[in-house]
Every structure is written in structure tokens, then in C-alpha cells.
């Protein structure tokens, strides 16, 4: 079974999306937390997270995007949420 760290893939997606923002201000905050492992391929997770970040960037120009990784005990899934705040 494949196991992928959400935080590791999210870091790669953030670096790629930041580089792709071509000079636009793209401020993202992410609270530090423990590594979260999910049973999914890294490539599939990367594509999903890049899409989430791209949508968040498009929703706010020069705003702030606050990311959260929600891994609640007893839940069968992990959520990555993005809250967009315009300036």
C-alpha cells in the first residue's frame, strides 16, 4: 500500500504554485502540525492540492490564503481547507 505525507506534498505544491504566480503577491499561511500519512499516491495528491491552491490564488488577488490540514482522530479521511481573505 502506498503512503504519502500530506505535508510533504503540500510543501511541493506550495513551492510550485508560488513560482507559477509570476510576480503576483500570493501570501499563504499554514499552521505547523505533525505529519499526516494518507493511503494515496503522491502524484494524485499533488494534482489535487495544486488545483486547490490555484483556485484559492484565482479567488483572491493580493489577498491571504489560510490553509489547514484537518486530521481528526476517529475520522476516516483528512481534509485540506483553504480560507481566502481579500485585502
C-alpha cell at 45: 495528491
pLDDT confidence of 22, banded at 50, 70, 90? low
| CA 33 remoteness from chain centre | 13
* Mean pLDDT rounded to a whole number for the chain: 86
Rounded Cα–Cα distance for residues 84 and 72 (Å): 22
pLDDT confidence of 72, banded at 50, 70, 90? confident
> Any idea which residue has 485540506 for its cell?
80
pLDDT for 74 beyond 90: no
Rounded Cα–Cα distance for residues 53 and 65 (Å): 9
Closest CA to 82 of 60, 44, 16: 60
pLDDT of residue 33: 78
Using H for helix, E for strand and C for coil, what is the string for 12-51? Answer: HHHHHHHHHCCCCCCEEEECCCCCCEECCCHHHHHHHHHH
pLDDT confidence of 46, banded at 50, 70, 90? very high
**How confident is the model over 39-47, as a mean pLDDT?**
95
pLDDT of residue 83: 87
Amino acid at each position: 500500500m502506498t503512503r504519502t505525507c500530506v505535508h510533504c506534498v503540500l510543501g511541493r505544491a506550495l513551492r510550485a504554485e508560488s513560482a507559477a504566480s509570476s510576480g503576483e503577491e500570493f501570501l499563504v499561511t499554514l499552521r505547523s502540525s505533525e505529519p499526516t500519512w494518507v493511503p494515496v499516491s503522491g502524484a494524485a495528491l499533488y494534482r489535487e492540492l495544486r488545483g486547490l491552491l490555484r483556485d484559492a490564488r484565482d479567488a483572491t488577488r493580493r489577498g491571504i490564503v489560510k490553509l489547514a490540514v484537518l486530521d481528526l482522530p476517529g475520522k476516516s479521511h483528512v481534509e485540506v481547507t483553504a480560507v481566502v481573505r481579500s485585502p
